[in-house]
Structure 1
Amino acid sequence: MKYFYFRLNITYQAFEQLYRVPNTVVKVRDENGKMLQIPAMRFVPFFSQLGVRGRFELVLDENNKLQRLQQVGQ
């Protein structure tokens, strides 16, 4: 398994526009500098009136398939 940690702060309005477009990805840089592309739909469980905010953990398997995305802090 591969673990990546990153922070995200997307406003309500910006995220609302993102997830309306099919196959949109959110590009983030993890804490070690690696660029990641994550489907915007994966962030819907974390979407609130404030948008999408916090520190996240992304777990990929050996084939780089997403296994888990979870919020691990503010």
Structure 2
Amino acid sequence: MTNITPTDTVYHFNISVPYRMCEALYQNNTPAVVLTADNGLRVQVPTSRLRHFVGSDGVKGSFRMVVDQKNKIKSFERIR
């Protein structure tokens, strides 16, 4: 669990991407994807952060991303 400070920004995402579409996460010309957070904000996330969560059914679940004041990702984790 990441230590969240008052200056951090926390984004929540519900992701459901089928396995056949996950191939794009491994292509060099796709360094990042844009996800829509639960609050409606669009956030650019490096594909390397999502690769860890690819399973036989793709990427599915609820995720949380914590970003510091300098927009550096502190954590990207599945919460459900």
* TM-score, normalising length: structure 1: 0.88
Q: 1:50-72 deviations in whole A, cap 9, x for unaligned?
A: 11111100000010100100001
What is aligned with 1:51? Answer: 58
Shift in Å, 1:17: 2.5
Name structure 1 gaps, 5 residues minimum. none
- Where has structure 1 moved over 6 Å in runs of 4 or more? none
Greater per-residue helix proportion: 1
CA distance in 2, matches of 1:22, 1:70: 24
| Higher-strand-fraction structure | 1
Q: 1:40 aligns with which of 27, 44, 47?
A: 47
Q: Tell me, in whole angstroms, the C-alpha distance in 1 between the residues paired with 2:24 and 2:11.
A: 25
Shift of 1:28: 1.0
TM-score, normalising length: structure 2? 0.82
2:79 alignment partner in structure 1:
72
| Structure with bigger gyration radius | 2
Aligned alpha-carbon RMSD (Å)? 1.3
Which amino acid in structure 2 is aligned with residue 62 of structure 1?
A: Q
Worse-matched range after superposition: 54-63 or 21-30: 21-30
Q: Distance in 2 between matches of 1:56 and 1:24?
A: 19
